[in-house]
Amino acid sequence: MKQIVLLILTFLLFFGGSWYVRKKFFQVRKSEKIAQSPQKKLPVTKFKVKEEIIDLGKIYRLDTVIRCDFVLYNLGPENLYIVDVKPDCKCTGYSRADKSEPVAPGDSTVVTLEYRPKQSGTFQVTASVEANAEENAFLVLRGEVANIPGS
């Protein structure tokens, strides 16, 4: 009799507990989606990148962070909101000084790409800039890491 009661209790705790956890997890996931979805659609504007491709030429240092600034100009009549910057690989990072501030019409902002070369050879890294604009922009950083003795 004890074994049956113990078995029933184990069953209830296991499945009841997992049901409760799933319920809480899905509530959190649902609230995250609601928080991430914009309450109102942002007005569409236009922007331009001063230089979409920066060629660094030859680099003679490995494992050193290289930073390049890309200037983005808001050419449209509405504020420009940079939603996301997505580098195409983990070797590339980005930063933006005024992350939370929109770019007013006629103003500009700077997106800095950071690249850390790990091996010799040519490279090209790309980052897409998503904004409330008609089109996304692509920032390209390329160059060649020279053969370094002992690398």
CA distances from residue 66 to 2, 26, 94, 114, 141 in whole angstroms, order as listed: 69, 42, 11, 6, 10
Residue 116: count other Cβ atoms within 10 Å of its Cβ. Answer: 13
Q: Specify the length of the chain in residues.
A: 151
pLDDT of residue 141: 93
Per-residue pLDDT tens digits for 75-122: 999 999 999 999 998 888 899 877 788 999 999 999 999 998 888 899
CB 81 within 8 A of CB 75: no
Q: Please give the model's pTM, rounded to 2 decimal places.
A: 0.69
Amino acid at the residue 148: I
Dist CA 52 CA 1 (whole Å): 76
Report the run of H or E that residue 32 belongs to, with start and end: helix 2-36
Tokens 């020279």: give the residue. Answer: 146
Calpha distance 99→119 (Å, rounded): 31
What confidence score (pLDDT) does residue 11 get? 56
pLDDT-derived band at 150 (thresholds 50, 70, 90) equals low
- Contact call for residues 54 and 140 (beta carbons, < 8 A): yes
